[in-house]
Structure 1
Amino acid sequence: MKRLILFFFAQLFIGFFVSCKAENQVSIKIMNENSNPISGHKLKIKVGDKVFTATLLDNATSKAFVAQLPLTIKMNELNNNEKFASLPQNVPTNATVPSSIQAGDLMMYGSSTLVLFYRGFSTSYSYTKIGKIDDVTGLVAALGTDDVTVSFEL
């Protein structure tokens, strides 16, 4: 009888351990899809004669965005902190409310609006992250205060 009870508790413990391990793997997969860079994929962002390099995230949104490159678009000024433009094709999204926006963040608002932030701030809006400019030095000056033409390429 003791063996049967011990066997039962051993099976219960193993089942619990395997379940916890599976949940952790799912969490890791979700984190990787939304926050890990795509290996070797750097994005060139050209504004006038200034070139910025961005690291792309490994998610479905970034991959769909990359499929539309190269892309040269007129980006509109908004709120003295961002430039935005509609993409030629919608992309899949997984929007969340970020804890804060940082200068250099490249995100999607909805499934068709690309947003390049050049100043940081707090927000209650939902975005899907695509990537981030590696070094934002000169970004504010390059983008200016008006609408601007921006090129994106690998």
Structure 2
Amino acid sequence: MLRGMLETARLAGFFAAHGLWSVADGGPLTPLLGFDKPDGGRGMTRYAAPELEIGVKAGQDALAANPDGAVRAALVYDAFLHLPSGRIDALVIEAVEYGPQERILRMGVPYRPEPFAVYRPKFLEVTGVDRPDWAVLGGAFFEGVDSHEQAAAIWNAHLGESL
């Protein structure tokens, strides 16, 4: 597995956890873009807008344009996933490893708002990697989740049965 893609999965996990921490109190998530800078620092921008779709679009535009010159970035926003069991609230994560050959990771983290529960993340898309090792990518994602101590505690306290 490519090292950069594992770092992208960790970043995605960290900011997915941060997003989940935001929705655990019942409020909607303002779309957020977290990124790793070339100097090793990390940053985050929120995209508040009168309508969620406008904020998501602004975040997607920033993810594509990379205005911060990031090494990798992850956009997290509230949406719905359509699973065999039906439609469910979810945080969608669109993560990019920038470079000559962009690598993209899209995931969904289903959750139930009331009473709050979080379910097993779902891989939606991986591009730029010939044969993704799902277990390794998932492990890196959860390393990122666990690195956000406050959010990981909420995530782990509200685990629901798998969907």
Larger proportion of helix: 2
TM-score under structure 1 length normalisation: 0.29
- What's the TM-score once normalised by structure 2's chain length? 0.28
